[in-house]
Chains A and B, each alone.
Chain A
Amino acid sequence: MDYDVIIIGSGPAGLAAATLIAGKGGKVLLLDEQLRPGGQIYRNVENTSMNLRKILGSDYACGEALVKKMRQQSVDYIPGAVVWQVTEGREVGYSVNGKSSLVRAPWVIIATGATERPFPIPGWTLPGVMMAGAAQTLLKSSGLAADGAVFAGCGPLLYLVASQYLRAGVKIAALLDTGAKPNYLAALPYFSGALKRWDMLAKGMKWISDIRRSETRVIKRVSELRIEGKEEATGVSYRTYSGAAGRIETKNIFLHHGVVPNVNLAMAANVEHLWSDEQICWYPRVDSWGCTNVDGLLIAGDGAGISGGLAAEAAGRLAVLWCLKELGKIDPTECDSLARAQISALKHETRIRPFLDNWFKPPEPFRVPDGDTIVCRCEELTVKDISDVIDIGVAGPNQLKSFSRAGMGPCQGRYCGLTVQELIAKKTGRKMSDIGYYRLRPPIKPISLGEFAEMDAGPPANES
């Protein structure tokens, strides 16, 4: 099959994009590793019970319409397809049921969304500790919610998941809020802009008040966190900026400090990335359509910069409009006029971002750990291990990787990349943007050796 466009990711960005392009007669392949369409925000939305929908809220349920529209179009949608590479030549490698294939198209849109920021505190790798988004994933996909958990960190998603937990009728032992005063001051100048999205602010306030009104202990201005336990988590101890300290017994701790673009596929395809000091993350350099420096490769949705589900939809449509115009399926005037609504939707959706970015900026102690805290979980390297390597003059993420294997394991640096970068910056006094990130290589997700061996890849280009 010859496709016009391959879209990776069936979250709001990918769904909106696939639906639009198929509607205009384009041939589209939609790949997603999940077994159901919907992405992070609308995960499993076709399949959830009425009760679970009530728990997850109306923002979640409205994803069903988006999924339905995609289903009604002739989109070649392959669920359970793990994409492990996109090349500069737009060759997409993906694996379904233990079989890998390569497919190429003139246009490829990466819509792989966001991923949770690492939260390296003492004990964060113990069983029982997970990211709040991952806890939500369990809730969405199998209705599971742990009783008596502790939520720690800050950010809208943390409060959202906590309020969903409460609606599910389980108890939350405590919410340890790491929000810090300097953030509030930094966010102040953006407050009037954020007010234009009072509806979103109100939603957030509602989550917080739901938590307040419950039996949940809320501890604010937390400055230090430590997970306790040997084989598994048994509790969490904390300290606040005002000097109060305590310990809460629990087997489940959910951490969260916001989400960052999922850059692995795009970086491995040589897409140029920029550093954001505001959001403390890398994001791909894209134009207003989502085009990158790599010909024919576009990025849409939270993978291009965190803006939320509705913005992702608009961005997905914009990316597709560009492809449709280039493919000659719509003319430039139609493209521009269709784009207008998406551009203003995008603007409307992103108004609140500067305020949120500043308010919820994860404070340094939770990004830049010290001592025996594990940084690279795959290779079990601690801050001390990493610091020792920096001390002998190995002061770039790739050098450090070659020396210590940090970031070389199965997670490909997802859990340690940003932390390693910050440790180097702190120790050497250099700017984050100058330090750079790991060079990423396929497969960006582990694939079995047998699968590679048996893949139909044609003849080798260059044999010795």
Chain B
Amino acid sequence: MKAKARTADVVIVGGGIHGCSVALQLVRRGLKTIVLEKDHVARHASGVNAGGVRRLGRDLAEVPIAQASWELWQDMPGLVNDDCGYRSSRYLKVARNNKELQQARIRVRELHALGFKHEEVIDRETLNEFMPAVSEDCVGALHVEGDGAAQPFRTTIAFKRRAQDFGAVIEQGMPVTCLGRKGNNWLVRTPSGNFETPVIINTAGAWGGRIAEWLGDKIPLEAHAPMLAITERMCRFVDPVVGTLGDALSFKQLDNGTVLIGGGVRGVASLDNNSTKLDMAGLSRFLKTAQDVFPVMRNTNVVRMWAGIEGYTRDNLPVIGKGSESGVFHAFGFSAHGFQLAPAVGFTVSHLVMGETPNLPIKPFAVGRFHV
């Protein structure tokens, strides 16, 4: 005889940081919540990303939710009972020519007009003061005080454990293979049993497009594999997290002295077998940028390179909001900058599920924006 479907108030598909953060806020509101994860929690982007907790340089549409998230990051022990290895100091995006610096000035003006005062442009002297090791070719930077970085795997696990503390059920090794209607409810199928629920939340990251399609929403999503490299330990030479304005390099020296370098160049992701392929040419390119910005790094050894699978939307903004069918909510497609947003996304999605109006502007992330 077939086992009866398990029931819940909410089933969340995908145990990345967003699935766990949403689960945490929903169990705190008293809903019976089950998270289904096909591999293990933090196996993908959420566990292997660069850990950048950055408001700086975000698309203007994302600034309010990033700012709200930043406030939550200031008290991670209060939120998830762990400091998540979060350290903040400064975040800088260096300009390597005057044109880049000029664009940065325009951006800061726009931000100020919207009432956000956290970013500013600094000149070469101030830049050198913050980072004596920076190359002489850098002419200035976009700067914010208070952004930083955390340990991604540890952070995601902290969300998971906190959600479990409040009663969330987290099932790992359980892929959702089919979603369909059963009366007013959704029937969720997995090889190890079915679930019945009135509310389904899609936090399936790069796989979110597939899940969305099963739930009746066609959302174009591409999977790519952003790449990272880490060096051996070096003497402390840079405190801020550093990026570049021209290309999407990010660069930080961790507590143990190793330097983590990420670039805008991506490898190849395969959704079907969870695999990523590195692109040596791309890695070579972004390591060259790292060397240009910090000549001291030239002789440092790179000890490891990897990539994670991430979903990208056409406008590089996430999909957050109600689906077109009842009882469906989406939060995926974070386009390589979703780690920082997770604390706020948990609250926002829980507001939507509870039928409340979110206190943050999420219209730019609406599911319907891709409909023609």
A-facing residues in B280-312 (Cβ within 8 Å):
280-285, 287-288, 290-291, 297-306
Tell me, in angstroms, the Cα distance from A446 to B299 when the chains sit together. 11
B16-57 contact mask (Cβ, 8 Å, vs A): 1 or 0: 000000000000000000000000101100011000000000
Whether A462 contacts B279 by the Cβ 8 Å rule is yes
A93-B280, A461-B279 known; A408-B302 Cβ under 8 A? no
A363 within 8 A of B: no
> Do B301 and A447 touch (CB < 8 A)?
yes
Tell me whether A463 is interfacial, beta carbon within 8 Å. yes
Q: A410, A452, A459, A464: which contacts B283 (Cβ < 8 A)? A: A452
**A428 CB–B CB distance under 8 Å:** no
B268 interfacial by beta-carbon distance below 8 Å = yes
Contact yes or no, A403 B153, CB < 8 A: yes
Residue of A nearest to B161 (CB): A392
- Contact across chains for A452 and B302 when beta carbons are under 8 A apart: yes
Within A224-248, which residues are at the interface with B (CB < 8 Å)?
none
List residues of chain A with CB within 8 A of the CB of B224.
462, 464
Chain B residues whose CB sits within 8 angstroms of the CB of A441 once the complex forms: 278, 304-306
- Chain A residue with minimal CB distance to B282? A460
Q: Is the CB of B288 within 8 A of A454?
A: yes
- Does residue B178 face the partner (Cβ distance < 8 Å to A)? no
User: Is A455 a contact partner of B284 (Cβ separation < 8 A)?
Assistant: yes
Q: A453-B287, A461-B279 are in contact. Are A409 and B303 (CB under 8 A)?
A: yes
Given the interface contacts A443-B305, A461-B281, A461-B282, does A449 sit within 8 Å of B42 by beta carbon?
Answer: no
Interface string of B265-287 (1 = CB under 8 A from A): 11110000001011111111101
Question: Does A394 count as interface, using CB distance less than 8 angstroms?
Answer: yes
Closest to B154 in A: A403
Q: How far is the CB of B364 from chain A (nearest CB, A)?
A: 20
Task: Count A-B contacts at CB 8 Å.
Answer: 122
Q: If the complex has contacts A394-B157, A403-B154, are A462 and B280 also in contact, measured as CB distance less than 8 A?
A: no
Which residue of A is nearest B259, CB measured? A449
A396 within 8 A of B: yes
Cβ contact within 8 Å between B304 and A449: no
> In the complex, are the beta carbons of A379 and B231 less than 8 A apart?
no
Q: A402-B47, A458-B281 are in contact. Are A448 and B302 (CB under 8 A)?
A: yes
Q: Complex Cα distance A408/B153, Å? A: 14
Is A399 engaged at the interface, CB distance under 8 Å to the other chain?
yes
B145 to chain A, nearest CB (A): 27
B232 at the interface (CB under 8 A from A): yes
Report the minimal beta-carbon distance from A101 to chain B, rounded to whole angstroms: 11
Asked whether A412 lies within 8 Å of B157 as measured between CB atoms, the reply is: no
B64 contacts chain A at the CB level, 8 A cutoff = no
Which 6 A-B residue pairings sit nearest by Cβ, starting from the closest?
A402-B153, A446-B301, A460-B282, A450-B298, A453-B288, A457-B281
Selected A-B contacts with CB under 8 Å, 24 pairs? A392-B161, A394-B157, A402-B48, A409-B303, A410-B303, A441-B306, A442-B278, A442-B305, A446-B303, A449-B231, A449-B298, A449-B300, A449-B302, A450-B291, A452-B302, A453-B284, A455-B280, A457-B281, A457-B284, A463-B264, A463-B282, A464-B248, A464-B265, A464-B336
